[in-house]
Chains A and B, each alone.
Chain A
Amino acid sequence: MSFSEIWLFLQQGILSGLVTGSVYALLAIAIVAIFKTTDVPNFAQGEIFMIGGYVALSLLLIAGWSYAVVIPVTVVAVAVGSALFQRVVMERVTHSKGVGPQLVIATLGLAYMLKGLVRQTGLGDTPRSLPPLVSNDPVIIGDAFLTRLDVAIFVASLTAMVLIYLMFNHTRIGKAMRAVGMNPRAAQIVGIRLSRIRMMVWAMAGLLSALAALLITPKILITPDIAHIAILAYAAAIVGGFTSLPGAVLGGLVIGIVENLVGLFISTNAIVVAPFLAILVTLIVRPQGILGGKPQVKKV
């Protein structure tokens, strides 16, 4: 492999990696936000994302609506559904003294149910894609080859991240979410209604998942099993530090880039295992993740 080839692969890998990585980052933000505020490792994240894809698909192809209507409707529908699940199921599980395993299993229950529902509608029988909103014309950056769709995906997810950042730092509800994430008891004492904030966080996670689905599904085929993409988001959250929102973004980009570089330099077969190696290596070398802060000391 010549030097110029390596240089080309590096550029291509990093740029394509940033595009896919930004979508993983959106899902990772959703996972981390839910984990911080409700202590739930949401194993249904991928299925919520998948539902976003199928809602958009059925509205576009079957109902025949235009993108201008489909995008807001999809995002709102998934956000509401996600908030309802928190309200109806997760609150109840927490109240019946459910801890780690119980909470995880409840989200797994949701995951199975959503997958089954999509298969039941018959929509899931053939893999499909959303029609691209932006054209697939090539864009050359440096020596790397991207499409206009790629650029749009990257810009859109970056915008979403900036908006989330602004919300967390400059709005009352965002600050309340952060407070609940830091110390729920103290937040409750200063007058924050825990259950309302938790519902809002799940709604935000649903919103981000739907957005991620709208962005990536014109590029890839969607099936009921597409939820495995969330494994990459999980890897991103772990690599970045499971309780750090900036870490989730960083982790998402790292996973995206690693995945693409592995594909270019080693083999496309190895892509599948790259995130797991990333998880294992991170957990061995730095169990709290890159931006995870100090390792937690267990209180007696």
Chain B
Amino acid sequence: MTRDHWALLAAALVLSILPFAVSGYVLYVVNLLMVFVVLALGMHVVIGESGQFALAHAAFFGIGIYTAGIINTAWHPPFVLSVLAGGALSAVLGYLIGYLALRMRDIYLALATFAFGEAMQWVFLTWERVTGGSNGMKMDPANLFGYRLTNDLQAYPFVVVLAGLMLWLTVALARSQYGSSLRAVRESDVAAMAMGINVKAMKQSAFAISAAFAGIAGGMYTLFTSFIHPESLGFQTTILVLTMVVVGGMGSVRGAVAGAIAFGLISELLRQLMSVQEIIYGVILMGFMMFMPKGLFADRNRRVARKPAKGVQA
């Protein structure tokens, strides 16, 4: 067993004991952290694995929430379907945005996706018939074969299992041939092309996968929340997720998870103290970029990357 396996085992133990030991609010926070973990994993795929600087995560998160929420409210299907629908719609939109993004690099890509994110927030705010606009939208609780998930405790096992599945999926993705191709594109798209990798298809699919993660995170959010307001789907949220990934360590799955948990906790704990939250946040961001720009888990990750992957000839 490696250190990662022990960490996973410990996490599984803590997570399974937790619902018997703590109150509703703590469970809510844990649920929220699980959503952040999935969001950060999605950001990790597009920034960490494929090296594309995309800033529209909150928009896809929002699309996932609204899609799942509206479907739950209208048809009360098993929640797995509504969550998947949110993920699928996000993926399709991400794929389309990815098509535009192929023409751009670095800062232009960041700005274009930023513009898309802001435009989506405007859509959430103005398309009142569907989203309720600035009044927010009340959603019916999610369903599983007629069993309604009405509180954090009931949603908890499903949220945790979904997050675990997404984590497993990310690791599987990174270890696959596809993951190696993505990293080849990240290091040098010219070299990747020379090796016969379809660079455009890689970039575009990374966008779609990342968007799907965000959409599924949105669906998970509807499992334990019954109200959604567009205010929380702006650039701030995208930055929060970006921070998790970068401070955790770009290109490292451990980093994304650790960053998501740490920053999710900080933002939740300091929610009441807005100005203090902003100052602490700002100082952490600047400090990390000044003294540890590769994030917390960068070095360990590099050591792992040098070893040839199993089943791949060096």
Contacts and interface: CB of A to CB of B under 8 A. Distances in A.
Interface in B273-289: 274-289
Chain A interface SS verdict (over half): helix
Interface in A89-143: 89, 92-93, 96-98, 100-106, 108-120
A189 interface: no
Nearest to B285: A109
Contacts of B275: 115-120
A279 B112 contact: yes
Interface stretch (B30-38, B60-68, B114-122): B114-122
A101 B278 contact: no
Contact of A284 (B100, B190, B246): B100
Interface in B258-306: 274-293
B18 to A, nearest CB: 31
B47 interface: yes
Chain B interface SS verdict (over half): helix
Interface string B56-96: 00000000000000000000000000000000000000000
Interface stretch (B101-109, B143-151, B154-162, B201-209): B101-109
Interface residues of A, number: 46
B145 to A, nearest CB: 41
A238 interface: yes
B126 interface: yes
B250 interface: yes
Nearest to B190: A300
B53 interface: yes
Contact of A112 (B118, B281, B292): B281
**Sorted from nearest, which 4 A-B pairs have the closest CB atoms?**
A113-B282, A116-B278, A109-B285, A119-B275
Interface of B: 47, 53, 100, 103-108, 110-112, 115-116, 118-119, 122, 126, 188, 190, 239, 242-243, 246, 250, 274-293
30 contacts: A89-B290, A98-B289, A100-B106, A101-B47, A101-B53, A101-B250, A102-B246, A104-B53, A104-B110, A105-B246, A105-B288, A106-B285, A108-B282, A109-B282, A111-B282, A112-B279, A112-B282, A113-B278, A113-B281, A113-B283, A113-B286, A116-B276, A119-B274, A119-B275, A120-B275, A234-B111, A242-B111, A280-B112, A284-B100, A284-B103
